[in-house]
A and B are shown apart, each in its own frame.
Chain A
Amino acid sequence: MSPSTVTVTGSGIDPVAIRRDFPILEQQINGHALAYLDNAATSQKPTAVLAVLDQYYRRDNANVHRGIHELSRRATSAFEDARSRVGRFVGANDPGEVIFTRGTTEAINLMAHGWGLEFLNEGDEILLTTMEHHSNVVPWQLVARRTGAVLKWLELDDEGRLRLEALDRTVNSRTRLVSLTHVSNALGTVNPVADIVRAVRYRSEAVVLIDGAQAVPHLPVDVAALDCDAYAFSGHKMCGPTGIGVLWARRSLLDAMPPFQGGGEMIRIVRRESSTWADLPHKFEAGTPDIAGAIGLGTAVQYLEGIGMSRIARHEREVLHYALDRMSTVRDLRIFGPSDPCERSGVISFTLSDAHPHDIATILDAEGIAIRAGHHCAQLVMRHFGVAATARASFYFYNTTEDVDRLVEGLETVRTVFA
């Protein structure tokens, strides 16, 4: 494939130019150009992010909020600037409400410990969906076991959409928490979060937590417009480094919650018997944070803003449409998730005749095409569809229709091997 054959999509994104920002994409894998289609697992990092990490360690490295010296001042201001920028990126204008975590998993666990264990009692109901990533299931199972709270589930329909009509029955005055994903990592389903929040508010006083791990990288997100109470996401899926993510939550909620971990950075005064807590957001950031990671995420956000989230979403939609069309020509291919492309993001979960997803992934890998195979940390979704695993191709703004062509060719190879 020569780069000159790459088409500029109607979104105005020029993939040739964009791909120059991602040197990792230029390599050969098993003798073929890399087609990286595993973006739901993690995204690649642009040179701007790599450079800022390097520059931070070369020039500005120091601990934050501690030193009086120049380097500490620089590190602290870069770290706090990143916080403000990442917050604004999702419509959170109060940096005190933006807590840096290791990622979505830690953000949800922070809520489970800080809010769940503190405020849930026996018989209280936690509403989850069977679309959730394990990181939005297991923490609540642990909380339920310790508090006596009860887990309730919103089910999926045949196309992997939430059965929203059941909200009427499942949300009531005992519902204390509703936690659900914005976009499914296993199916690509985009949930109408604002509508769901409205429906929940109408029927209960429940706290609403949204897992935005698959949304923030791909769509414009505004937590104020969604009207949720808390929102979690990971940096590494949106061009940022691994090891950094965010929990945004309303100040009133965070003020009421006890600290998650104890240590340096999160205290005001420590006495022998007890201590008082630092102001938000530091109350929830015990110990030395991932300073470089936060700064890298700030730069990633700046990079994404430079392209524009609406353009990114539009480009991915075009690649998705193209992929759904092309893949529908592959015989014996079963695609999971909503049939209406407008209800899904750039994630395509599929199976192909009797080829096991792992075999599909191995054959594609031999042709330089990286996809994921397995249960995608969503075993409840797999069970819903009666499969042990699926193969999953997931796109980002640097993917092209040529990547899709390669995928489809690779799938034809799978068909010949397993014919």
Chain B
Amino acid sequence: MESPSIGSLYQDLILEHYRRPRNQGELPDRTADVHVANPVCGDEIRLQLKIAGGIIEQARFVGSGCSISQASASMMTSLLEGRSLTDAEALAKRFGDMMRGDADAARDRRLGDLRALQGVSKFPVRIKCAMLGFDALRKPLEHNSAISGGP
């Protein structure tokens, strides 16, 4: 018998992104390239962005790992394209709020498919998995705010 909490964690949308990740691959004309790994479980994500004029024009990733980490990266990259770095930063913050159990964040339409990951907040040991893609995003964001003198 499937316990309800597991059902709330493994939403169909998550499994769908896990099986058919969006934006997978490399960007030959990337301007940012970040590799992150979780040494505990071996999950890996390499995030590549093409940023021009403060806008993320393209986002791609390659990775391996659990359904949560890979689905999260797939959903995240789908939302990043065409967004300003400032927007991306707000998105990352909102996602972090949702992972901390913030119910408002979990209803925030701006999070798109990422909202399917709200169940992860009830599985503390898996939050790191969901955050892995955003960990990769942090570096280009910090780089940007360092250049522009703050968000």
Q: Report A's interface with B, CB cutoff 8 A.
A: 30-31, 354-359, 362-363, 366-367, 373-375, 382, 388-389, 413, 416-418
Answer whether A362 and B123 are a contact pair too, CB < 8 Å, given A354-B19, A413-B6. yes
Assess the A417–B126 pair: CB atoms within 8 A: no
> What are 8 A-B residue pairs whose CB atoms fall within 8 Å in the complex?
A354-B19, A356-B65, A356-B66, A356-B67, A363-B6, A374-B41, A382-B42, A388-B42
Q: How far is the CA of A417 from the CA of B126 in the complex (A)?
A: 17
* Residues on A with beta carbons closer than 8 Å to the beta carbon of B64: 388
Assess the B40–A417 pair: CB atoms within 8 A: no
Query: Which applies to chain B's interface (DSSP): helix, strand, loop or mixed?
Result: mixed
Query: Is B145 in the interface zone, CB < 8 Å from A?
Result: no
Query: Is B68 in the interface zone, CB < 8 Å from A?
Result: yes
- How far is the CB of A289 from the nearest CB of chain B, in Å? 31
- How far is the CB of B137 from the nearest CB of chain A, in Å? 21
* Residues on B with beta carbons closer than 8 Å to the beta carbon of A358: 41, 43, 65-66, 68, 126, 129
Assess the A389–B68 pair: CB atoms within 8 A: no
Assess the A366–B10 pair: CB atoms within 8 A: no
- How far is the CB of B128 from the nearest CB of chain A, in Å? 10
B1-19, CB < 8 A from A: 1-3, 5-6, 9-10, 15, 19
- How far is the CB of B25 from the nearest CB of chain A, in Å? 19
Cβ 8 A contact of A359, one of B1, B19, B66: B66
- How far is the CB of B77 from the nearest CB of chain A, in Å? 19
* Residues on A with beta carbons closer than 8 Å to the beta carbon of B65: 356, 358, 388
- How far is the CB of B122 from the nearest CB of chain A, in Å? 10
Cβ 8 A contact of B68, one of A30, A357, A359: A359
Cβ 8 A contact of B41, one of A354, A355, A389, A418: A389
Q: How far is the CA of A30 from the CA of B28 in the complex (A)?
A: 47
Known: A366-B6, A375-B41. 14 other contacts (CB 8 A): A31-B3, A356-B65, A357-B66, A358-B43, A358-B65, A358-B126, A358-B129, A363-B6, A363-B10, A366-B3, A374-B42, A388-B44, A413-B6, A416-B2
- How far is the CB of A99 from the nearest CB of chain B, in Å? 31
Cβ 8 A contact of A367, one of B3, B42, B67: B3
- Cβ contacts B31-57/A at 8 Å (1 or 0 each): 000000000111110000000000000
* Residues on A with beta carbons closer than 8 Å to the beta carbon of B5: 30, 366
- How far is the CB of B151 from the nearest CB of chain A, in Å? 33
* Residues on B with beta carbons closer than 8 Å to the beta carbon of A375: 41-42
* Residues on A with beta carbons closer than 8 Å to the beta carbon of B42: 374-375, 382, 388-389
Answer whether A359 and B41 are a contact pair too, CB < 8 Å, given A30-B5, A416-B2, A418-B15. no
Q: How far is the CA of A373 from the CA of B129 in the complex (A)?
A: 13
